[in-house]
Chains A and B, each alone.
Chain A
Amino acid sequence: MATKILLENLAVEGIRAIDTYMANGGYRAVSKALKEMSPDQLVEEVKASGLRGRGGAGFPTGMKWSFLDKKSDKPRYLVCNADESEPGTFKDRYLMERIPHLLIEGMITASYALGANTSYIYVRGEMMSVIRLLERAIAEAYAKGFLGKNILGSGYDLELYVQPGGGAYICGEETALLESLEGKRGNPRNKPPFPAVSGLYGCPTVINNVETIASVPWIVNNGGAAYASIGLGKSTGTKLISACGNIRQPGVYEIELGLPVEEFIYSDAYCGGIAEGRELKAVVPGGSSVPILPKELILKTAAGEPRLMSYESLADGGFVSGSMLGSGGFIVFDERACIVRNLWNFTRFYHHESCGQCSPCREGTGWMEKVLHRIEHGHGKMSDIDLLVDVAKHIEGKTICPLGDAAAWPVGSAIRHFRDEFEAHVKHPDSCLAKHLHGAYAHAVPIMEP
């Protein structure tokens, strides 16, 4: 049985309630950290763990924490990114819904490590039910003395609040999130300055994903070295993978990093294979923003090595033949799926969600959406395919925030690996695979803006 760090107590009845959570070892990390460890020791343990940010970029968490400007006399903040809006990603919601106290415990220990006395959990507004759960959990934690003034007699004070978003994917980008938390439109900020120096209200701020923060209590309890011994190479520990699309068992799975992709897709312990006994066609392994890979390249690298669920292995081959672990949103496409249609959908998404500050992103995503719409609907030209590649290239790396890249990568990779399918759409406007099928895509008309 694989090690479980986050979901170990998933099946415990009533684990949402603080008493049950505590009876199963919950909040031990708070007393250990506050009574036996200095904040700097805690940062060192997290560094030693090799834990990397689970929000998508995989930046080493301990290093991020050590960049926090502790010399400034301004207050410091920890902000948890619970905006989870990357298509294909639903692990944070799962974790918060099932074991809300794990995030609260993580917030307390991480805030202590960073010297933050006020912290916020920014939850996307659509997850109102999660917000209610977290607020209840926070109230329970206050009642037990894990939050508030002089926590457990340690002299450390912490106030913790939940902040709702308003429906905007871009607010998952950390500086847009800070703008939103300040009550403004979610327009990403130019960097530098980085949030570690000037973040929330111009104060030093760390922003971490839900899963990142929820991993901290285990590291406090068991030590950084123990965490680092799990996983593979620089991909230490476990990762929540949210698997969806055409598989038999969609859901959230905690895997040890380094698990072979083939096992993840076909084992009954995970995805359980492709739905209805169909064939695997392609996978987007890390949320909609990462490159799509065809079956051959998701199961094996270009060099013929088995592809593993780790930061390094999924990225093996760069963007020519690899992809990224990203947020862990694992989207599986079976043989029926239309790559063009899905790409059009994703591009429409990015256009819709562009904040509009930079013209390459604002205009480029709109052009790509239009061109993809016409290819998918039988009005495409052969030159449209290269036009798409060209527009994507002119967005990539030329924008304030990475949403531009996130919109460009899926386009580049889909055309790289499935060019024949785009050409077929142009040559035989009626032959779109999907139109011949019953089920999901049958007679589908485009979902357009109202």
Chain B
Amino acid sequence: MEFSQEIKREFDQIVARYPQGRQKSGLLPILHRVQAEYGWLSTEAMNAVAEYLNLNPIEVYEVATFYTMFHLEPVGKYVLEVCRTGPCCLVGAETLLQYLQRKLNIGIGETTPDGLFTLKTVECLASCGTGPVLQIGPEYLYHEHLTEQKLDQLIDRLRSES
């Protein structure tokens, strides 16, 4: 696969942040950019990144598999990433997550049949004072102080926008 000229220009700007010969430092920002474009990281996309950065494909795979933000399989249009760590559980994250599973009728890690929503759990998002919290890529805006009512509104809005 080929990236567009526009994306390649962005890649060039990313790589310019590092010293000569250290272009590998651009790998994480570039993978984020690719995922924002295609929704997930396919093997073809990772191979193309390897080629652009002059790396062995394995150097890209080992990074993409290490970091939890990268999706290595197709995901729904909206990936709901709900914090499941202790402090959020103190303020109700567990019940809320159950509610969300029932509402979307999917389990954690699954995607709704219409391809709209994928439900994921993530670890502490540095939003413990405003939990329960979830975020949605590729902008990764935080939805804080979640309640069942707020979730209803959010899901309705996302459904109507698509």
Residue ranges of A at the interface with B (Cβ–Cβ < 8 Å):
75, 84-90, 92-93, 118, 120, 124-129, 159, 161, 163-169, 180-186, 201, 242-246, 250-252, 288, 329, 331, 333, 337, 341-342, 345-346, 349, 352-353, 439-445, 447-448, 450
Across the interface, A126 reaches (CB within 8 A) one of B22, B69, B70, B121, namely B69
Residues of B within 8 A of A89 (CB): 124, 126, 128
What would be 22 A-B contacts, judged by CB atoms less than 8 Å apart? Answer: A85-B124, A87-B85, A87-B86, A87-B128, A88-B86, A126-B140, A128-B137, A128-B138, A128-B139, A129-B142, A163-B29, A166-B69, A167-B68, A183-B28, A183-B59, A186-B66, A246-B91, A288-B85, A333-B90, A349-B123, A440-B92, A450-B107
Across the interface, A88 reaches (CB within 8 A) one of B87, B108, B141, namely B87
Q: What separation, in Å, do the CA atoms of A407 and B63 have in the docked complex?
A: 24
Cβ distance A361 to chain B, nearest Cβ, rounded Å = 16
Residues of B within 8 A of A168 (CB): 66-68
Q: Is B161 an interface residue (CB 8 A)?
A: no
Whether B94 and A447, one on each chain, are in contact in the complex, defined by CB atoms closer than 8 angstroms, is yes
Cβ distance A293 to chain B, nearest Cβ, rounded Å = 16
Whether A440 and B128, one on each chain, are in contact in the complex, defined by CB atoms closer than 8 angstroms, is no
B108 nearest CB neighbor, chain A only? A450
* A166-B28, A183-B25 given; A127·B86 CB < 8 A: no
* A87-B85, A352-B123 given; A167·B69 CB < 8 A: yes
B21 nearest CB neighbor, chain A only? A201
Residues of B within 8 A of A450 (CB): 107-110, 120-121
Residues of A within 8 A of B77 (CB): none
Whether A92 and B126, one on each chain, are in contact in the complex, defined by CB atoms closer than 8 angstroms, is yes
Q: Which residues from 9 to 40 on chain B have a C-beta closer than 8 Å to any C-beta of chain A?
A: 17, 19, 22, 24-29, 31-32
Cβ distance B41 to chain A, nearest Cβ, rounded Å = 11
Q: Is B62 an interface residue (CB 8 A)?
A: yes
Whether A165 and B67, one on each chain, are in contact in the complex, defined by CB atoms closer than 8 angstroms, is yes
A77 nearest CB neighbor, chain B only? B19
Residues of A within 8 A of B91 (CB): 244-246, 440
Residues of B within 8 A of A166 (CB): 28, 31-32, 63, 66-70
Whether B108 and A444, one on each chain, are in contact in the complex, defined by CB atoms closer than 8 angstroms, is no
Number of A-B contacts (CB under 8 A): 184
Interface residues on B, range: 35 or more
* A166-B28, A168-B68, A183-B27 given; A84·B122 CB < 8 A: no
* A129-B142, A444-B95, A450-B108 given; A244·B29 CB < 8 A: no
* A182-B24, A349-B86 given; A85·B126 CB < 8 A: yes
Whether B28 and A87, one on each chain, are in contact in the complex, defined by CB atoms closer than 8 angstroms, is no
Q: What separation, in Å, do the CA atoms of A164 and B123 have in the docked complex?
A: 17
Q: Which residues from 86 to 121 on chain B have a C-beta closer than 8 Å to any C-beta of chain A?
A: 86-87, 89-92, 94-95, 97-98, 107-110, 120-121
Whether A331 and B128, one on each chain, are in contact in the complex, defined by CB atoms closer than 8 angstroms, is yes
Whether A345 and B89, one on each chain, are in contact in the complex, defined by CB atoms closer than 8 angstroms, is yes
Instruction: Pick the most buried of A353, A440, A441: most chain B CB atoms within 10 A of its CB.
Output: A440
What 4 A-B pairs have minimum CB-CB distances, sorted nearest first?
Answer: A450-B109, A166-B67, A167-B69, A183-B24
A450 nearest CB neighbor, chain B only? B109
Cβ distance A392 to chain B, nearest Cβ, rounded Å = 17
Cβ distance B78 to chain A, nearest Cβ, rounded Å = 15
* A185-B66, A244-B87, A440-B95 given; A127·B22 CB < 8 A: no
Across the interface, B94 reaches (CB within 8 A) one of A126, A181, A288, A440, namely A440
* A163-B28, A166-B63, A445-B98 given; A125·B69 CB < 8 A: yes
B127 nearest CB neighbor, chain A only? A90
Q: What separation, in Å, do the CA atoms of A407 and B57 have in the docked complex?
A: 34
Across the interface, B129 reaches (CB within 8 A) one of A185, A242, A444, namely A242
Q: What separation, in Å, do the CA atoms of A252 and B68 have in the docked complex?
A: 27
Whether A185 and B123, one on each chain, are in contact in the complex, defined by CB atoms closer than 8 angstroms, is no
Residues of B within 8 A of A159 (CB): 17
Across the interface, A244 reaches (CB within 8 A) one of B68, B122, B125, B128, namely B128
Residues of A within 8 A of B126 (CB): 84-85, 89-90, 92-93, 124, 126-127
Q: What separation, in Å, do the CA atoms of A241 and B59 have in the docked complex?
A: 39
Residues of A within 8 A of B95 (CB): 440-444
Chain B, residues 127-138, CB within 8 Å of chain A (1/0): the string is: 111110001011
Q: A87-B123, A169-B124, A244-B90 are in contact. List 10 more A-B contacts (CB 8 A).
A: A89-B124, A90-B127, A126-B126, A164-B29, A183-B28, A244-B91, A245-B91, A331-B90, A346-B86, A442-B95
* A129-B142, A166-B63 given; A201·B94 CB < 8 A: no
Residues of B within 8 A of A127 (CB): 126, 140
Q: What separation, in Å, do the CA atoms of A89 and B89 have in the docked complex?
A: 15
Whether A125 and B28, one on each chain, are in contact in the complex, defined by CB atoms closer than 8 angstroms, is yes
Q: What separation, in Å, do the CA atoms of A159 and B81 have in the docked complex?
A: 34
Residues of A within 8 A of B69 (CB): 125-126, 166-167
Cβ distance A314 to chain B, nearest Cβ, rounded Å = 18
Whether B122 and A126, one on each chain, are in contact in the complex, defined by CB atoms closer than 8 angstroms, is yes
Q: What separation, in Å, do the CA atoms of A168 and B53 have in the docked complex?
A: 23
Residues of B within 8 A of A169 (CB): 123-124
